Amino acid sequence: MPFTSKFKRIDLGASTTSPDIVPYDWQLRLVSGREIRLVRMSQHQTYGGMLNGLPSEPEEKVLQAVADANEWDCNFHKRPAVLPAAIVSGTRIAPEGQVHRDRWIEPKKWEMLPVVTCFGVFESSQRQGGFEDFSSSLVIWFQGHFGIPADAGTLVAFSLLDWDRHAEECNW
């Protein structure tokens, strides 16, 4: 009798939580020709908990993401790779003649990152030149949805990842 699973499939694209699991065998080929595989990831809202005001500077959020990723997976000695993200910008303008706390509201420029911060551990079975079994890297990226990377900009950024610079050799 063949084994059948009674577990429900999890659609990470519809998840509102921060799953620490990934679809089996999500792979990507870098422009260098190396194949990498996502083995573990975590996601959270970039501006989660922000109730009022304008978003902080994107650079602050990137630095916080690097600190959080190092805490999430402290096994890496190299700095995580941070993929470039599309920054959304705008200007807050008060309606004509609106007064706030007895003063005029000045126009205020703002910038923000995509709404989901992602940490992922990627592995490659291709050696870097040493004697270890495989190489691994911690990668940080920002995207507009929960789930695996799917938009064209993020996939292009992944394909341009400098694996030799960011990955560490590992063994079993």
pLDDT by residue (tens digit) across 53-74?
Answer: 677 788 889 999 999 988 888 7
Strand, helix or coil for residue 153: helix
Give the residue among 71, 65, 161 at the shortest CA–CA distance from 122.
161
What is the distance between the alpha carbons of residues 134 and 167, in angstroms, rounded to a whole number?
10
Residue 104 has pLDDT above 70, yes or no: no
Model pTM? Answer: 0.76
Q: What is the pLDDT of residue 95?
A: 64
DSSP type of residue 62: H
Hey, how many other C-beta atoms are within 10 angstroms of the C-beta on 48? 10
Hey, CA dihedral for 112, 159, 42, 123, is it positive or negative?
negative
- Which of 11-25, 120-134, 140-154 has the highest average model confidence (pLDDT)? 140-154
Say yes or no to pLDDT of 40 above 70: yes
111 Cβ contact partners less than 8 Å away, ≥ 6 residues apart: 55, 57, 58, 87, 88, 89
Examine the pLDDT at 122 and tell me if it is beyond 50.
Answer: yes
pLDDT in tens, 155-165: 999 999 999 89
Q: What is the pLDDT of residue 138?
A: 93
Mean pLDDT, the chain, rounded, equals 78
